[in-house]
C-alpha cells in the first residue's frame, strides 16, 4: 500500500519521519508513519489538498465564544452564532472533499451558555485562555442563561450539508472542572460526533470493542466514554486527551492509514496517530501552537520509530 503523502513544501514546519520498510512478501510495504504540521488557516490549506485522500479526520475545533486564542482569522471568535456554524460547516465541507469515500469524521465539540449580557469574561486561575476580551451577544431566539446547544446546531448543519450523522458519543469527564453554579448541574460532558462521507464506510468494530460489565467477554462499544481530561504541560489551551483520540483513530483508519486534524493545537491527534502507526497531517493557525505541536512530535520521533 502506498500512502498518499502530498508535497507540502511551502508551509511545512516539521520534517517527515524517515522512511523505513516494514513489509514482507505477504504484506504490502507500509511506509513508516509520519506527521506534518501545516501552519495557516484550515479552510485555505484544505483547499490545496487533493480529494479522497484521508481515512479519517479527528478534530476539536475552537468552541464558540469560550476561548480567545488571540489571533486574526481564528474560528470561535465570531460575534454571531450562525457565522461560527457557517465557518465550521465550510471547513468541514473541505474536510469531506479530502476524505476518502469510505472516510469518517470524529468531531469533538462542547456547549456553552449565552453571555447574559456580560461583555467580557475574566480568566480563571487554572486557565488564562478562558479570559475573553469580548462576549458575543445572546443569539436571536435565545435568552440570558440559555444553554445554546452548539454541538447539535453544528451536527444538524453538517447533516444538512450532506454528511451522514452516524453517532453522538458522550465524552464523560469524571474530573471535569468545578463550576460556581448553584442552579444547575455542573457540566461534565462534551460531544463527539461520528459523521461519514458515505452510507457505507470504514469502521473497525473489532478494534474498539469494550469489556462487558462482568469483564468476561467483549461487546460492541457503547456511546458513553468515560475519560479524564489531561492537561498538556506546554499548552495553556483546550487539548483533548489521547485516550479520547485512540478509539477514533483505531475505528476510523487502518494501520498505515492517513489521519487529518484541521485544528491541530498542540498536536494530540498527530502524536496519537504516530503511536498507532498512522500518518497524520495537522493544520494550525497559531504559529506558537504549531511550534508546540512540532516540538511534541519531534520529541516522539525516536520512541515511535523504535517501539
Ligand X SMILES: C[S@@+](CC[C@H](N)C(=O)[O-])C[C@H]1O[C@@H](n2cnc3c(N)ncnc32)[C@H](O)[C@@H]1O
**Cα–Cα–Cα angle for 198, 202, 204, rounded to 5 degrees:** 145
| Geometric angle at alpha carbon 200, from 167 and 4, rounded to 5° | 100
Q: Which of 1, 18, 28, 73 binds ligand X (CB under 6 A)?
A: 73
How many residues of this chain interact with ligand X, rule: CB under 6 A?
23
Does 239 interact with ligand X (rule: CB under 6 A)? yes
Q: Decide: is 246 part of the binding site for ligand X (CB under 6 A).
A: no
286 touches ligand X (CB under 6 A): yes
CA distance 108 to 167: 12
Shortest gap between Cβ of 21 and ligand X (angstroms)? 31
Residue 240 contacts residue 268 (beta carbons within 8 Å): yes
Q: Which of 65, 139, 240, 294 binds ligand X (CB under 6 A)?
A: 240
**If binding is defined by CB under 6 A, does position 268 make contact with ligand X?**
yes
Q: Is the dihedral of CA 130, 136, 137, 140 positive or negative?
A: negative
Residue 272 binds to ligand X (criterion: CB under 6 A): no
Query: Is residue 188 a contact residue for ligand X (CB under 6 A)?
Result: no
Please state, in angstroms and rounded to a whole number, the distance separating the CA atoms of residues 249 and 49: 20
The verdict on 270 binding ligand X (CB under 6 A) reads: no
The residue range among 184-192, 210-218, 236-244, 249-257 that interacts with ligand X, by the rule CB under 6 A, is 236-244
Judged by CB, which is closer to ligand X: 142, or 229? 229
Q: Rounded to the nearest whole angstrom, what is the least distance from the CB of residue 2 to ligand X in the complex? A: 28
Least Cβ distance, residue 70 to ligand X (angstroms): 9
What is the closest distance, in whole angstroms, from the C-beta atom of residue 277 to ligand X in the complex?
20
Block residue for cell numbers 465550521: 88
Q: Give the x/- contact pattern for ligand X in 23-42, rule: CB under 6 A.
A: ------------------xx
Which member of 69, 164, 172, 203 binds ligand X (CB under 6 A)? Answer: 69
Report the DSSP beta bridge partners of residue 167.
194
Residue 43 has a CB neighbour count (10 Å cut-off) of 19
**Cα-trace Rg, the chain:** 19
238, 258, 259, 281: residue in contact with ligand X (rule CB under 6 A): 238
Binding-site ranges for ligand X (CB under 6 A): 41-42, 60-62, 69, 73-75, 235, 237-240, 263, 265-266, 268, 283-286, 289
Amino acid at each position: 500500500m502506498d500512502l498518499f503523502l502530498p508535497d507540502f513544501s511551502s508551509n511545512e514546519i516539521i520534517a517527515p519521519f524517515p522512511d523505513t520498510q516494514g513489509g514482507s512478501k505477504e504484506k504490502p510495504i507500509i511506509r513508516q508513519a509520519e506527521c506534518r504540521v501545516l501552519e495557516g488557516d484550515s479552510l485555505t490549506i484544505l483547499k490545496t489538498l487533493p480529494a479522497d485522500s484521508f481515512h479519517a479526520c479527528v478534530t476539536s475545533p475552537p468552541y464558540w465564544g469560550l476561548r480567545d486564542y488571540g489571533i486574526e482569522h481564528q474560528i470561535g471568535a465570531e460575534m454571531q452564532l450562525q457565522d461560527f456554524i457557517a465557518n465550521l460547516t465550510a471547513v468541514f465541507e473541505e474536510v469531506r472533499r479530502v476524505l476518502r469515500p469510505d472516510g469518517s469524521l470524529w468531531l469533538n465539540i462542547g456547549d456553552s451558555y449565552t453571555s447574559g449580557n456580560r461583555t467580557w469574561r475574566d480568566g480563571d486561575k487554572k486557565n488564562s485562555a478562558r479570559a475573553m476580551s469580548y462576549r458575543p451577544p445572546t443569539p436571536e431566539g435565545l435568552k440570558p442563561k440559555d444553554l445554546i446547544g452548539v454541538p447539535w446546531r453544528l451536527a444538524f448543519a453538517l447533516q444538512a450539508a450532506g454528511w451522514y450523522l452516524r453517532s453522538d458519543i458522550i465524552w464523560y469527564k469524571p474530573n471535569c472542572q468545578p463550576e460556581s453554579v448553584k442552579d444547575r448541574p455542573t457540566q461534565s460532558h462534551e460531544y463527539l460526533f461520528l459523521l461519514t462521507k458515505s452510507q457505507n464506510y470504514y469502521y473497525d468494530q473489532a478494534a474498539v470493542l469494550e469489556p462487558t460489565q462482568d469483564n468476561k467477554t467483549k461487546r460492541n462499544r457503547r456511546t458513553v466514554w468515560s475519560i479524564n481530561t489531561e492537561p498538556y504541560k506546554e499548552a495553556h489551551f483546550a487539548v483533548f486527551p489521547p485516550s479520547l483520540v485512540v478509539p477514533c483513530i483505531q475505528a476510523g483508519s487502518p494501520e498505515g492509514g492517513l489521519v487529518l486534524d484541521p485544528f491541530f493545537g498542540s498536536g494530540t491527534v498527530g502524536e496519537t496517530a504516530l503511536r498507532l502507526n498512522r500518518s497524520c497531517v495537522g493544520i494550525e493557525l497559531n504559529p506558537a501552537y504549531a511550534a508546540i505541536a512540532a516540538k511534541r512530535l519531534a520529541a516522539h520521533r525516536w520512541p515511535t520509530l523504535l517501539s
